[in-house]
Amino acid sequence: MVVSPTYPVQLIQPDGRRVHNPEYAALVADIDPECLRTMYRDLVVVRRLDAEATALQRQGELGLWAPLTGQEAAQVGSAHALERDDYIFTSYREHGVAWCRGVDPADMTRMWRGCAHSGWDPATVNMTNPAIVVGSQGLHATGYAMGAKLDGADIATVAYFGDGATSQGDVSEALGFAVSWGVGVVFFCQNNHWAISAPTHLQTPVPIAQRAAGFGMPAVQVDGNDVLAVLAVTRRAARHARDGAGPFFVEALTYRMGPHTTSDDPTRYRTDADLDEWRARDPIERVRKLLDRENLADDTFFAEVKDAADAAAARLRGGTLDLPDPEPLSMFDHVYTTAHPLLERERADYANYLASFVSTEEAGR
């Protein structure tokens, strides 16, 4: 089923009022005030982590960072819909999903600082590290889901990617393979309207969800700035996958408020008017207005949330600055699980190269 692109699934309006949608409201009927407050806290913490990492990059402490500001609801809502046994394959922007899965903020910047090949052990949180090759994680997720199906595991495998990745062959191959073999992948597209500087309408004349339907899988559009709607839609998609019904496609309509990465200048391809339109749909303010409207939170709660966000940001900053510089030869340590003669020759060559610098320095003293 494809929901009309004119009316993506929505449960909270930008002014905090609830939307009457019996079908999807039923999927989040268990979300009580405490759960709403928890999701609000996660939204605020995730934005604060993103701001801190961006500041670290601007200060020369990170080589690069891919900001997520504006996309918090798409990530927090979907992450809250998943079970611990579900397995997540990410792109390079899912810092909010990582936070919700329990990744230590001190580990989020290890790769971006150039101190390690990865940030965390995927096995501890059932979530991969950032994938820089655009769209490759779709194939990885599909392969993992096929293995899970052969093992009889009732799990959902989730592949996160952006609208730009849907123009990559890897994603098309993953969609086709997943349908052909009936594997339980949730393809979660965060359509933030910009593939670096290319707007979505240059990539496709139809909604991305309709592209997925063309492969023969159910697809739904959701207001990606509505954390409750994203939670409901992702719950439906994940249940579909766990039940053995095959893949499911979710298109979360959201907006990247910052640059594509910290090496990008978005002022060269979009206007302040574009930003103003989406600032009015801010995912965090939407939940705050709901909490205020329904008297579910007070000033003490909001102060506690700010303190929690600041503490998480301090953990990220402290962990980043405390990261030791890696030994140069350590880059060869985990390329293969067993010894490989070609790699060992490369290690030896690089060791000699490094030694030549030491000899040159000593000769010059």
Considering the candidates 269, 315, 347, 350, report the single residue annotated as catalytic.
269
| Torsion, Cα of 77, 81, 84, 89 (10° steps) | -60
pTM exceeding 0.85: yes
Give the pLDDT confidence score for residue 361 in this predicted structure: 61
Give the pLDDT confidence score for residue 334 in this predicted structure: 84
Give the pLDDT confidence score for residue 75 in this predicted structure: 98
Residue 260: active-site member? yes
pLDDT in tens, the chain (365 residues): 444 445 899 999 999 999 999 999 999 999 999 999 999 999 999 999 999 999 999 999 999 999 999 999 999 999 999 999 999 999 999 999 999 999 999 999 999 999 988 899 999 999 999 999 999 999 999 999 999 999 999 999 999 999 999 999 999 999 999 999 999 999 999 999 999 999 999 999 999 999 998 999 999 999 999 999 999 999 999 999 999 999 999 999 999 999 999 999 999 999 999 899 999 999 999 999 999 999 999 999 999 999 999 999 999 999 999 999 989 998 898 889 898 999 999 999 999 999 987 766 666 66
Candidates 223, 224, 191, 226; CA nearest to 207 is 191
Considering the candidates 113, 240, 260, 317, report the single residue annotated as catalytic.
260
Give the pLDDT confidence score for residue 7 in this predicted structure: 80
Considering the candidates 256, 281, 286, 317, report the single residue annotated as catalytic.
256
